[in-house]
Amino acid sequence: MISFDDIKKAQETIKDYIHRTPLVYSNSISRITGLEVYIKLENLQKTGSFKIRGAANKIFRLSEDERKRGVVTASAGNHAQGVALAASRLGIKAVVVMPERASISKQLATKGYGAEVILYGNSFDEALEYARKIERDRNCTFIHTYDDNDLIAGQGTIGLEILEDLPDVDSVIIPIGGGSLISGISIAVKEKKRDTQIVGVEAKAAAAMYLSRQTGKNTPVTSLHTIADGIAIKKIGDITFPIIQQKVDEIVTVEEEEIAAAILLLMERKKIVVEGAGAVPLAAIMDSKTKIKGKRVVLVLSGGNIDMNILDRVIEKGLVKSGRVLRIEVELADTPDAFARLTSIIAGKKANILHIVHDRLSHKLPITKTIVRLNLETKGFEHNEEIKGELINMGYNAEVL
């Protein structure tokens, strides 16, 4: 197993090539949760993710021969950028295989750091298999995305920084993908403060470690449809799995709507943009997924590389989850003045109409009726109940969608 000394050595190795990211106290999130919440801003790290730490530690430790042969890796995006940047600093050729579904922004960023990007397969696992083929065909040095001792040691430097900034930390909540991040942090933190609670968080749609803890063995999952693409991994690493089993106190999962709501909350309250993977620690405490031991909690916001093309959908999901968007269906008489009366009631309740759809063709409707579906911008759940109640009082058949 990787030792605390390995992590200290990694810190010395990479200190000139990474940012020492801030650990900041959040008044607003602390008030909401009743905890003392600190956030570790790895979304402000070089390349927008913690991955540069492990990639830099791995690449800077390569032999001269390994550097000459170049490196190859597979990644959905964040590790790709870390490897590309670290390799470019040493003048090493880097080939990165990314799934065809990888976000365009991450593809472009990886190319921008100087790597050769190859798109292959529909999943990370298919990309990984092809990267292994390139390793054989081109005689490159393969760099794993998460299952590597040097990577784990590099990621563990986050734990050292947390302890330096908040020595009396009670709980650290960390995203889990392949497991290198939580493995490294847990080794570092538990070495110096054994009673600190370590909690791992996965998207429910890609909960390989949660399943593995239930079965008692490293068990892959089949479904990976999640907005937290940075942690959408089918199988925990063979190196990381026993570390997590030994060092991590609890594993929890969060739903897609909860992740979206956490992204939105960080944007609105903290003016911080994170990707889905980076938001899962906040989602876990917002929805009381874990029983926190003590008061001083650190949330590791692992990355900020969210695809702008899906950000609007994430925001909409977050608004719905927090009650700020009400989707409602109302049955109307199909007359010229019916819709005007409906909108006047909505305006009277101070809601803003965002989107309207008329449906006159439903086979359930008589010819004299129409269905109107509205998306309304509201103040929250209490306001939503007021609007629905007013419509029902006025004789409308109204249903919240």
Q: What is the pLDDT of residue 60?
A: 93
Q: Determine the pLDDT at residue 43.
A: 96
Q: Residue 160: CB partners within 8 Å, gap ≥ 6?
A: 7, 8, 11, 188
- Per-residue model confidence (pLDDT) at position 222: 82
Q: Say yes or no to pLDDT of 42 above 80.
A: yes
Distance from C-alpha of 127 to C-alpha of 123, rounded to nearest angstrom? 6
pLDDT (mean) for 114-127: 90
Q: Is the pLDDT of residue 290 over 90?
A: no
Q: What is the pLDDT of residue 363?
A: 67
pLDDT digits (tens, 9 = 90+) for 239-277: 999 999 999 999 999 999 899 889 989 998 899 999 999
Mean pLDDT, all residues of the chain: 91
Average pLDDT for residues 354-373, to the nearest whole number? 79
pLDDT at 232: 87
Q: Could you give the CA distance from residue 340 to residue 381 in angstroms, rounded to a whole number?
A: 25
Confidence of residue 2 (pLDDT cuts 50, 70, 90): very high
* Total length of the chain: 401
Quote the tokens at residue 75: 């990644």
Q: How far apart are the first and last CA of the chain?
A: 51
Strand partners, 375: 327, 355
Which tens digit of pLDDT belongs to each residue from 293-319?
Answer: 888 999 999 999 887 777 877 877 778
**Tell me, what's the pLDDT at 204?**
94
254's enclosing H/E stretch is strand 250-254
- Within 10 Å of residue 12's Cβ, how many Cβ atoms? 10
Position 150 pLDDT exceeds 90: yes
CB atoms within 10 A of CB 207: 22
DSSP state of 46: G
Residue range 59-88: average pLDDT?
Answer: 93
Q: What is the pLDDT of residue 149?
A: 97
- 11 pLDDT exceeds 70? yes
What tens digit of pLDDT does each residue of 312-353 get?
A: 778 777 787 778 888 888 888 878 888 888 889 898 889 898
For 121, left (φ over 0), alpha (ψ -120 to 50), or beta?
left
Give the pLDDT score at 202: 96
Please determine, for residue 366, whether its predicted confidence score (pLDDT) is greater than 70.
Answer: yes
What gap in Å lies between CA 48 and CA 272, rounded to an integer? Answer: 12
Predicted pLDDT at 158: 98
Q: Confidence band (pLDDT; 50, 70, 90) for 51?
A: very high
pLDDT at 210 over 70: yes
Q: CA angle at residue 164 from 283 to 176, to 5 degrees?
A: 30
pLDDT of residue 323: 83
348 beta partners: none
State yes or no: pLDDT of 395 exceeds 90.
no
| Cα distance between residue 346 and residue 390, in whole Å | 9
How sure is the predictor about 368, in pLDDT bands with cuts at 50, 70 and 90?
A: confident
How many angstroms separate the CA atoms of 233 and 237, rounded? 10
Note whether 397 and 331 are within 8 A (CB): yes
Q: In order of start, what are the domains of the chain with their CATH numbers?
A: 4-50+148-320 (3.40.50.1100), 51-142 (3.40.50.1100), 323-400 (3.30.70.260)
Q: Would you say 212 and 240 are in contact if contact means Cβ atoms under 8 Å apart? A: no
Which pLDDT does position 182 carry in this prediction? 98
Tokens read off for 266: 């960080």
Beta strands in 99-159 (DSSP E): 116-119, 141-142
pTM value is 0.84
